[in-house]
Structure 1
Amino acid sequence: MTNPDLSGALTLASPEACLAHYRAWAESYDAGFASDMEYRLPAHVAAAFMAAGGGSPVLDIGAGTGLLAERLRDMGQDGPIDAVDFSAEMLERARAKGIYRRLTQADITRPIALPRQYGGLVSSGTFTAGHVGPDALPNLLALALPGARFALSVNLRVWQAMGFDRALANLQDAGHIAGMQVIEVQVYGPAAATIDPAHADDRAQIVLFRVA
C-alpha cells in the first residue's frame, strides 16, 4: 500500500484492510496526518473528559499512536492509562512515547481480554466511517467499574447512519448508562481546508456518560 490517507481510512471494508492500512500509515500518522490536518479531536475528547471529572485508571480505546493520552497528560491526568488498538504498528508508535501502563492489541468488536477495572474510558477517532460501529459498546461497558466516566467521539457522518444515537439512547433507557451529554466539535483546524477539502469541515459528537 502507498500513501495511506484519511480518505482510504474512511472506506475500509474489512478487518484485513484495516490492519494493512494502519500498518502502512503508522510511521507518518503523527507528523503527517495529525500535524498537517491540525487534528483537534484528541484534545477535544481529553478536555471534555477532564471537565466532566475524569476517572482512573483510564482505558484509551482505539489508542493509535497515543495522541489522546498525550493530551490527557497535558491536562493533568496523572493516573495509569492503558491502550487498546487493532493495529500492532500503531501501538508500537504509542509505546515509544512512554505514556501507557499497558498496551493491548485487540478487536473491540469482540469481547476484550482485559479485567473490569477502569474508572475512565476514552476514545478519539475510532467510531467513524470504515471503522467501528455501536455494536462495540457492550464490550467496552464490560471493562468499566460502576460509575466509570466515558468520553467517546463519534463522527457525525455515522452518528445516525450507523445508529449510535439509537444505541446510546437504548443503553440509557435500559439503565446501563446515565447522565449522557453530547457535545459537537470540529475535528480539524483551518489547515485541513487546503490538504483535504472533502473532510476539512468534519464534525464529531463527543458523548459523555457514566456507567450506572
Structure 2
Amino acid sequence: MSKPPIVKDAYALTSAEAVKELYRDWAVSYDIGFSVSQGYQIPREVALAFFGAEGVGPVLDVGAGTGLVGEQLAALGDVTIDGVDLSAEMLAVAATKGHYRDLIEANILQPLPTQQRYIGIVSAGTFTLGHVGPEGIVGLLDVAEQGALFVIAVNAEHFESAGFAAMLDDIHNRITDLSFKDIRIYDDRASEDHVDDMARLIIFRTV
C-alpha cells in the first residue's frame, strides 16, 4: 500500500490473502500509528474481563497481532500465553515483547497446528468486519480444555450482521455461564467516524 492502512481498510477485507497483505504493511506502525493514536482499548478490556472471571493459563491469544492483549495479560497477572495469527509480520513484532511462550502462524478457520489444549482463550480485534465470523469461535472449542474460559471481543455491528447469536444458540450444550459486556472499542482519541464504535465481549466456559 502507498499509505498506512486505516480502520476502514481493515473492515473492507474479503479474503485471508487480503488480511495478510494489509497486516504485513501495518505491522511496524500498528502499535503507535493505530493503537495509541486511536485509543484502542479492547485489549485491556479483554484482559480485565479474563482475570475478572478468574481466568488462568495456559491462554491462547487468538489474532494476537503485535501482542497487545499479551501485554495486558502479562501486566495484570502471571499466565502462560501462546498466540496465533495469520500475519507473520505482526507475530514478529509480538515476539519482541517477550510475553509469549509460543507464536503460531495459522488461519483459525482451519485446524490449528498444535497439540496444546488451553484453559483460557481470548481475542481482541479478530472477530470484526472483514475478518473472522462466528465459525471461528466454534473451531476454537477443539483446542479448549473442559472448563476453559473464553473472552472474545466482537465488533457490535459484526455480532448482529454475522449471526453470532445464532452460533451461540447452536453450541449452547457445549458452553456454560454465558454473559456479555458491551464496551467502546476506542477512547476519546479516536477519529470522529469511529469514536463511538462498540464491541461485545462474549464470555463463557466450556463444559
TM over 0.5: yes
SS in 2 for 1:115: coil
Which structure 2 residues correspond to residues 104-183 of structure 1 after superposition, within 5 A? 104-172=104-172, 175-183=173-181
Task: Give the RMSD, CA atoms, in angstroms.
Answer: 0.9
The whole-number CA distance in structure 1 between the counterparts of 2:112 and 2:47 is: 23
C-alpha distance in 1 between matches for 2:198 and 2:69: 17
User: Match of 1:152, SS?
Assistant: strand
Q: Detail structure 1 runs of 4+ shifted over 4 Å in the superposition.
A: none
Partner of 1:63: 64
Paired position in structure 1 for 2:196: 201
Flag structure 1 segments of 5+ consecutive residues without an equivalent.
none
Secondary structure in structure 2 of the residue aligned to 1:142: helix
Q: Note if contact 1:116-1:142 (Cα within 8 Å) is conserved in structure 2.
A: no
Amino acid at match of 1:48: A
Q: Which residue of 2 aligns with 1:86?
A: 86
In structure 1, distance between residues paired with 2:131 and 2:98: 26
Q: Distance in 2 between matches of 1:177 and 1:187?
A: 26
Match of 1:186 among 180, 184, 187: 184
Give me the whole-angstrom Cα distance separating, in 2, the residues matched to 1:47 and 1:3: 30
Unpaired segments ≥5 residues, structure 2: none
1:88-135, CA deviations, whole angstroms, 9 ceiling, x for partnerless residues?
Answer: 000000001111000000000111112252010000010000000011
SS of the residue 2:43 aligns to: helix
- Please give the TM-score of this superposition, normalised by the length of structure 2: 0.97
Count of aligned pairs: 206
Percent sequence identity is 43
For the 8 Å contact 1:63–1:91, the answer to whether it is kept is yes
The amino acid that maps onto 1:166 is: A
Q: Whole-Å Cα distance in 2 between the matches of residues 12 and 166 of structure 1?
A: 23
Instruction: Describe the SS at the equivalent of 2:122.
Output: strand
**What TM-score comes out, normalization by structure 1 length?**
0.95
Q: Tell me how far 1:136 sits from its aligned partner.
A: 1.3
